[in-house]
Amino acid sequence: MYSRYDGGVENKRWFEPGHVAIVTGASQGFGFAVAALLAKRGLNLVITARHAAVLDEAARTLHRDTSLVALAGDVADGGHVHALASAAQRNFGRIDLIVNNASTLGLSPMPALEHLARDTFDVLFLTNAFAPLHLIQQALPALRRTHGTIVNVSSDAAPSAYAGWGGYGASKAALEHLSRTLAVELHGSGVSVIVADPANMQTAMHRDAEPGEDLSSLPHPEAVAPALLEAIARPRDAFLRVELQSNMMPVTA
Ligand SMILES: NC(=O)c1ccc[n+]([C@@H]2O[C@H](COP(=O)([O-])OP(=O)(O)OC[C@H]3O[C@@H](n4cnc5c(N)ncnc54)[C@H](OP(=O)(O)O)[C@@H]3O)[C@@H](O)[C@H]2O)c1
């Protein structure tokens, strides 16, 4: 069990009602927890995930707090990514924040690199590295106008080597490198880039990553998501890499 993150001075300009965020993988897990916090602050949302029924259920919940567009589809599909950015512009007229959260493990259980197939590798890099960049490319003209923020959700498997995690970790390392390069290229534009590592949480993805493991001691994504909003609001340079659980205190009683 972990306590909710609680700290930092918030720059309110990021959370003004009427601002607009695109959140991928928002039907469940960390993406839904982040979308719920943004909705409570009155941001208009464009959300996506592949399974329409689960996404629609999430949309009904989020709609209690804000206006939103839910578009079911795969972020690996370029036409779908284009539709997400277009929907934000057409429905709300601006984009202030992108949260590139949707991600795949490729396979469950994850194979050692010796057995990682080319088609799995392709899906990993397309979904976890290129798709976030593609959404950024589609949204950048709008983000430049709002001096917006790009959040790319990564993992400690990017900087660290764990057996079985090599394909996924390499795709997240690629995402982190793209993020750092983007921040250099966007210097002076007013657009900020954040790489956020939420660390281990009790989610479907983590259950697929560690089949049969007891995850009950891990935090739920709702406990971790507030730290991402704090990171977005934090005054900073053009690039920030943040480990979202580093300031969370374990609950001992
Ligand atoms: N859980 C952890 O312990 C942990 C640790 C470190 C980093 N992370 C990162 O945190 C992020 C969220 O993970 P999570 O644990 O919350 O996962 P999750 O509970 O499995 O949720 C993943 C979300 O992404 C969607 N999604 C997956 N593939 C997609 C695709 N190709 N196109 C569109 N949507 C897609 C899923 O819906 P559909 O299946 O319907 O598409 C779902 O909404 C990921 O980037 C992950 O790498 C997680």
Site to probe by mutation for ligand 1, drawn from 104, 171, 203 as the one with most ligand atoms within 8 Å of Cβ, is 203
Q: Which ligand 1 atom sits closest to the C-alpha of 54?
A: 40
Residue 225 exposed, middle or buried by CB count within 10 Å (0-12, 13-18, 19+): buried
pLDDT value at position 206? 98
Q: Is the pLDDT of residue 9 over 90?
A: no
In this predicted model, what pLDDT tens digit does every residue of 162-193 receive, in sequence order? 999 999 999 999 999 999 999 999 999 999 99
- Cα(73) to ligand 1 centroid in Å equals 14
Q: Give the chain's domains with CATH numbers.
A: 12-243 (3.40.50.720)
- Cα(204) to ligand 1 centroid in Å equals 8
Q: Which ligand 1 atom sits closest to the C-alpha of 74?
A: 32
Residues with CB under 6 A from ligand 1: 24-25, 27-31, 48-51, 54, 74-76, 101-104, 127, 153, 155, 198-201, 203-206, 221
Region 91-98 average pLDDT: 98
pLDDT value at position 249? 54
Residue 107 exposed, middle or buried by CB count within 10 Å (0-12, 13-18, 19+): middle
In this predicted model, what pLDDT tens digit does every residue of 191-243 receive, in sequence order? 999 999 999 999 999 999 999 999 999 999 999 999 999 999 988 779 999 99
* Bridge partner list, 24: 48
pLDDT value at position 11? 43
Q: What share of the chain is helix, strand, coil (3-state, %, to 5)?
A: 45, 15, 40
Residues classed as catalytic:
168
| Mean model confidence pLDDT for the chain | 93
